[in-house]
Amino acid sequence: MPLEGDTVDTGLECLGAVGTGARPLDLIGGTFPATMGWRRLGRYLRSLEDKGDLIRITRPVDCYLEAGCIADKLVKNGGPAVIFEQPKLADGTISKFPLAMNLYGTRRRTNQALRVEKPSEIGERLTDLMKPDIGAFAKRPWKAWPLAKKALSLPPKKVRKGACQQVRMSKPDLTKLPIPTTWPMDGGPFITLPLVVTKDPSTKEHNLGMYRAQVYGPTEVGLHWQMHKHGADHAAASDGKMPVAICLGGPPEVMFSAIAPLPDNLEEYMFAGLLGQKRLRITKCLTQDLWVPAEVDVVIEGYTIPGETQTEGPFGDHFGHYSLEGEFPVLHVTAITHRKDAVIPMTIVGKPPMEDGYLGEAIGDAFLPVLRFQHRDVQNMFLPLETGFHNLAIVSSKQRYPAQARKTALGLWGAGQMMFLKTIVATGPEHDVKNLDALLDVLDQNVSIPDDLVVLDGMVADQLAHAAPYEGVHSKLLIDASTPRKQGHPNISLDGIEGISQHRWIRPSMLVITTQIEGGPSETENTELIDEEGANRQREQISQLMNSIWQLENSNKLRWLFITDDSLNLDSEDTMRVLLWQLFCRFEVSRDLHYSAEGNRICWDATAPIPSTEGKMPVRRWPAVCIHDSSIQTKVDEWYEEEVRTWA
């Protein structure tokens, strides 16, 4: 398409770190205008600040561990977004770029960023394009105009120069950017909200993905694109150096497009236009043959070399554990450009709930209308943030004929990124999928074991799934809880059973017990070495506990036995949240699901497993849990009590 000329905004008043002087729209508690997107990150930040939903820290804050710990404290407490005005770099100097974190760390802010009252509005826009009412438009053509406007917003608009190129670093140096190290055992600083641009070598179509990037030095970055991602596809198909750009910041609609599970025939740049109700402006990189969003804050240009890799990681990841080292491609930086008033947005991921959890929830809600259009039996779906998303989906399905909910669930495992799901609980059409108490109710009342459990072995897993016995491969569990049943409940006492630290009945047929695992993996250190003796002792301990309980009189109605280690306090306020995290993030279906001799009861082993190759299925290296440095945590806790707790 023809170039539109130099369309850089030069007439608007600059307000430093927060963008232009354009009057921010009143977006909280009112109607969300749908005439345009944010256009730039600064407008969104200004709107947050005007509503008291953003705080500024004017003192120096270290990018090493401190900034991430503050952001984590804020998101865990439903706190505001934060701008660190003086982020301290590794060499002790202060970066000239402010660092912003926790921008999307509540449902309210996520909806505000997307300019919607509820995320499902986004999916409804997509389905309007997918199923236009041709009959109505033929009779009343003027009714097609709103749909035509949506379609016209799809193709990106090429401009000669973007605001992202207002300044070019004379000598590219990534270490001058405020890129945080968020966890003590991380392999280095990581870009955690990168908008990674690649293009298909054959079709020239651009892809915008979000793959974390480890900074090795001034001009080298490790790109963690997993084997299932488009970036990896493009790299595999490239004969020589492959151009890559990492964009930072920009309007929220561009960031959301990078993480959205789009159909293959809808480019991220087109989706960003649909979100913003206006064509996305893109501009040509200065040193690479790529087009990037013109209004982002920073563009890091470079290339990868086929076959060249470097060790990347460890990294405190969204499952709450460290993902361990691996070999990944290296980006060689050729240029860094940025806006004059650039702000660097980053996030911290780790033990949920985290900021990425709210984004994930929004994605699930936004694409539910599309999913329902493609899978007509789906009524509703929810991926709880407590379980790391890829580990559990709760699906309500139409139930007109026997096993319809099962059919629905099996179909979803073939739908794009849902291939990574470990467990699906299929429920009836009236089930409230977002009510986790209701989830326990249907597991207790509606599931007949083993008839309502379906195990699929040797299926695709997320490359980050540390509990999987093999990288990228695990077993999946379908639980059919769609049909109400009349089932009895146990009446037992656990007195005299050795090895139980605590126990708690979460439903009449569902018992949770904790136990101490001798020599079990440490939460603070990666467990790298195989320990067959310790692993065998752990398996025997679980088996003995399981059988001791199942041999009790009147225990035949105890259908669900959950065992975890005593790192979980069953009397704490957040017991259920932590339990969900342990049950689904530690658990491997083929290894940790045990049936009673009669087959009508199951034991779900959620203890942290000791690495082994001799059990039913192997246990790979077991990673440490993401835990902040204690001295920094104490400092941040004190700061929060003094300066932030009164925020509301």
**Residue 424 belongs to domain with CATH number:** 3.40.1670.10
Percent of the chain with pLDDT over 70: 90
513 and 466 in a single domain? The answer is no
Model pLDDT, residue 136: 57
Model pLDDT, residue 31: 35
One of 72, 297, 317, 565 is an active-site residue; which one? 317
467 and 516 in a single domain? The answer is no
d(C-alpha 453, C-alpha 632), whole Å: 45
- Under a CB-based contact definition with an 8 Å cutoff, are residues 474 and 422 in contact? yes
Tell me the H-state helices in 529-629: 532-550, 575-585, 589-592
Report the predicted TM-score, pTM, of the whole model to 2 decimal places.
Answer: 0.88
Task: Give the residue-averaged pLDDT of 576-603.
Answer: 94
The yes-or-no verdict on residue 9 having pLDDT over 70 is no
Model pLDDT, residue 646: 62
Model pLDDT, residue 293: 97
Tell me the H-state helices in 239-354: 252-259, 268-276
Nearest by Cα to 394 from 433, 365, 447, 358: 433
451 and 580 in a single domain? The answer is no
Peptide bond into 623 cis (omega under 30): no
d(C-alpha 173, C-alpha 164), whole Å: 16
d(C-alpha 555, C-alpha 18), whole Å: 62
**CA distances for 565 relative to 173, 252, 475, 516, 531, angstroms:** 46, 41, 23, 6, 18
Confirm whether 207 is domain-assigned.
Answer: yes
249 and 395 in a single domain? The answer is no
330 and 191 in a single domain? The answer is yes
Task: Give the residue-averaged pLDDT of 531-546.
Answer: 96
Task: Give the residue-averaged pLDDT of 165-179.
Answer: 97
**Residue 127 belongs to domain with CATH number:** 2.30.110.10
DSSP character at residue 337: E
Which of 451, 481, 511 represents a domain boundary (last residue)?
481
**Residue 597 belongs to domain with CATH number:** 3.40.1670
The verdict on whether 629 is a catalytic residue reads no
Confirm whether 12 is domain-assigned.
Answer: no
**CA distances for 591 relative to 477, 528, 646, angstroms:** 12, 19, 47
458 and 536 in a single domain? The answer is no
As a three-state string, the secondary structure of 185-234 is CCCCCEECCCEEEEECCCCCCEEEECCCEEEEECCEEEECCCCCCHHHHH
157 and 277 in a single domain? The answer is yes
307 and 192 in a single domain? The answer is yes
Model pLDDT, residue 30: 37
β pairing state of 220-223 and 326-338: antiparallel
d(C-alpha 517, C-alpha 524), whole Å: 16
Could you report the per-residue pLDDT of 265-316, keeping only the tens digit for each? 789 999 999 888 899 999 999 999 999 999 999 999 999 998 899 999 999 9
Model pLDDT, residue 149: 65
Is residue 540 very low, low, confident or very high in pLDDT (cuts 50, 70, 90)?
very high
Domain span at residue 254 reads 114-145+152-345
Model pLDDT, residue 145: 57
Confirm whether 48 is domain-assigned.
Answer: no
Model pLDDT, residue 262: 85
Model pLDDT, residue 134: 58
Which of 418, 449, 481 represents a domain boundary (last residue)?
481
Strand segments (E) across 102-210: 157-159, 167-168, 190-191, 195-199, 206-209
Is residue 28 very low, low, confident or very high in pLDDT (cuts 50, 70, 90)?
very low
Is residue 141 very low, low, confident or very high in pLDDT (cuts 50, 70, 90)?
low
Confirm whether 96 is domain-assigned.
Answer: no
As a three-state string, the secondary structure of 1-61 is CCCCCCCCCCCCCECHHHCECCCCCCCCCCCCCCCCCCCCHHHHHHHHHHCCCEEEEEEEE
- Under a CB-based contact definition with an 8 Å cutoff, are residues 369 and 126 in contact? yes
Is residue 133 very low, low, confident or very high in pLDDT (cuts 50, 70, 90)?
low
HSE of 455, CA atoms in CB hemisphere, 13 A: 14
**CA distances for 567 relative to 142, 354, 563, 586, angstroms:** 63, 20, 12, 13
Nearest by Cα to 625 from 353, 326, 390, 322: 322
The yes-or-no verdict on residue 329 having pLDDT over 50 is yes
Task: Give the residue-averaged pLDDT of 417-433.
Answer: 94
H/E run at residue 315: strand 315-316
Could you report the per-residue pLDDT of 466-522, keeping only the tens digit for each? 999 999 899 999 999 999 988 888 889 898 899 999 999 999 999 999 999 999 999
**CA distances for 515 relative to 500, 521, 575, angstroms:** 5, 14, 15
The yes-or-no verdict on residue 42 having pLDDT over 80 is yes
Is residue 19 very low, low, confident or very high in pLDDT (cuts 50, 70, 90)?
very low
Confirm whether 580 is domain-assigned.
Answer: yes
Task: Give the residue-averaged pLDDT of 150-175.
Answer: 92
Is residue 397 very low, low, confident or very high in pLDDT (cuts 50, 70, 90)?
very high
d(C-alpha 427, C-alpha 379), whole Å: 10
Give the chain's mean pLDDT. Answer: 88
**CA distances for 365 relative to 116, 123, 203, 318, 362, angstroms:** 12, 8, 31, 19, 5
- Under a CB-based contact definition with an 8 Å cutoff, are residues 312 and 189 in contact? no
Rg of the chain in Å (alpha carbons): 26
Model pLDDT, residue 634: 97
Task: Give the residue-averaged pLDDT of 235-241.
Answer: 78
256 and 396 in a single domain? The answer is no
* Widest CA span in the chain: 82
Confirm whether 463 is domain-assigned.
Answer: yes
What are the tokens at 346? Answer: 């980053």
Which of 481, 513, 532 represents a domain boundary (last residue)?
481
Least confident of 115-124, 195-204, 381-390, 552-561: 381-390
429 and 520 in a single domain? The answer is no
Model pLDDT, residue 381: 95
Domain count for the chain, please give it: 3
What are the tokens at 86? Answer: 């003086």
Confirm whether 17 is domain-assigned.
Answer: no
Confirm whether 97 is domain-assigned.
Answer: no
Least confident of 323-327, 387-391, 581-585: 387-391
Residues 6+ away with beta carbon under 8 Å from 635? 66
474 and 513 in a single domain? The answer is no
465 and 588 in a single domain? The answer is no
Model pLDDT, residue 135: 55
Could you report the per-residue pLDDT of 105-123, keeping only the tens digit for each? 999 999 999 999 999 999 8
